[in-house]
Amino acid sequence: MGVIKQSRFYDLNIHPLPDCAGSPARLVLEARDMGYSGICLTSFNSDNTFFEHDIPLPPFNDFEIYTGIEIQVERVAKLTKEVNRLRGRADIIIIGGGNEDINRASAENGKVDILAHPAAHGKPLNHVLAKAAADNGVAVDFNMDALIMQRGGSRIKVLTAMRQNLMLARKYTVPMVITSNARSHYDLRGPREMMALAMFLGMTQDEARNALSKVPKGIIKRNTDSNRIMEGVEVAK
Amino acid sequence: MQITPQNLIHHELIGLEASVVHSSNTAQIGIKGKVIDETRNTLRIDVGERLVKIVPKSHTQFMFTIPASDGRRYLPETDTRVQVDGTLLLSQPENRIQSKFKKTIKRRVNI
């Protein structure tokens, strides 16, 4: 268990105030208490994000706060347009998936960081999408709120789809992330609880740990490193 | 046009100092010198002592040194060094100059 204590955990999909009820400061405090090293606060509405208002955040030196936008669109053409428009404005670009067309478009778009809740409608990914996501470095999200919040048939559907996604992600080495998709601080779960839930899905402990620590860290580094000019071009120190 | 890290992969490479920092052919790691010629798939690097090495661009990470100048003279102390994945350079030099660059690496790294 020493490995888990040393790991730095990140939750990359938490929705704060303008869209949902939790205030950013409360979410940050709560996440820090639970043992996270950093979170990404994600807004749905790109015109009214929390980081454009001057909302004060608790100043911690040992806690990283990133900004993100979750794009929720119906049409593929709009998705590409929104991604290009918002890429420079937030640290992390997340696509709210579920719809098959949207899943495919985001898996094939190299500018997207995370495809969130791809199994929202109970439909799993397929081998084509998994391969595309692996090639473009789009991380597939396993959102634990679906397992916690839903009941009965819909939960079974999501669980089945997530298991299928896990199988595909293993086969094609797609980066996996586990997020809470929290809409208030009551929805947040600690890293080890999330890992336990993910292991219930069928992930091994190492996979679950990487999905909470290593892969999110890679995504953050890719997007915030100022020495990185583009994919494959880097200014050396 | 001034050479910058942003436009390096579109730019003329002949004359730049280059070194091989990573390659699938371990014998080529550490080759260092001036680029004297370029083909679609290779760079010719003059390593001194009248020796020229031909290095394939693919599967190789290059470190290019961009000379810094203040407009009039070179400032050798403040050179920028840029690490480039050779896959991005895979094209005829005259075609690489195109403004819109669509080639991407097959697999994103750092995950």
This model of the complex carries an ipTM of 0.74
Between CA A156 and CA A161, with CA A157 as vertex, the angle to 5 degrees is 115
Q: Where exactly are the structural domains of chain A?
A: 9-221
- Specify the pLDDT at position B9: 86
Distance from CA of A18 to the nearest CA of B (A): 31
The pLDDT tens digits of the residues spanning A40-68 come to 999 988 787 877 777 778 888 889 999 99
d(CA B15, CA A235) in angstroms, rounded, equals: 19
CATH for B59: 2.30.30.210
Residue B44 in any domain: the answer is yes
Among A111, A71, A115, which residue's Cα sits nearest to residue A87? A111
Residue ranges of chain A whose pLDDT lies below 50: none
Amino acid letter for position A108: E
How many A×B Cβ pairs under 8 Å? 54
Residue B14 in any domain: the answer is yes
Residue B57 in any domain: the answer is yes
Specify the residue for token string 């268990």. Answer: A1
Backbone CA torsion sign across B9, B11, B13, B16:
negative
* Interface contact flag, B6 A221, Cβ < 8 Å: no
Distance from CA of B81 to the nearest CA of A (A): 5
User: Who has greater pLDDT, A14 or B70?
Assistant: A14
d(CA A230, CA B89) in angstroms, rounded, equals: 13
User: Who has greater pLDDT, B74 or B19?
Assistant: B19
User: Who has greater pLDDT, A96 or B78?
Assistant: A96
- Specify the pLDDT at position B47: 93
- Specify the pLDDT at position B16: 92
- Nearest-Å Rg of the Cα atoms of chain B is 14
Lowest mean pLDDT among A61-65, B25-29, B49-53, B97-101: B97-101
Chain B within 8 Å of A229 (Cβ-Cβ)? yes
- The pLDDT mean for chain B works out to 84
A9-221, superfamily in CATH?
A: Metal-dependent hydrolases (3.20.20.140)
- Specify the pLDDT at position B110: 45
Q: How many domains would you assign to chain B? A: 1
The pLDDT tens digits of the residues spanning B95-107 come to 887 655 555 555 5
Residue B102 in any domain: the answer is no
Distances (CA, A) of A157 to A122, A140, A190: 5, 18, 25
Backbone CA torsion sign across A119, A124, A128, A132:
positive
Exposure on the CB side of residue A90, measured as CA atoms within 13 A: 35
Q: Counting every residue, how long is chain B?
A: 111
Q: Which domain holds residue B30?
A: 8-96
Put simply, the chain A residues between 2 and 31 with a CB less than 8 A from any chain B CB are none
- Specify the pLDDT at position A130: 93
B41 has pLDDT over 50: yes
Residue B1 in any domain: the answer is no
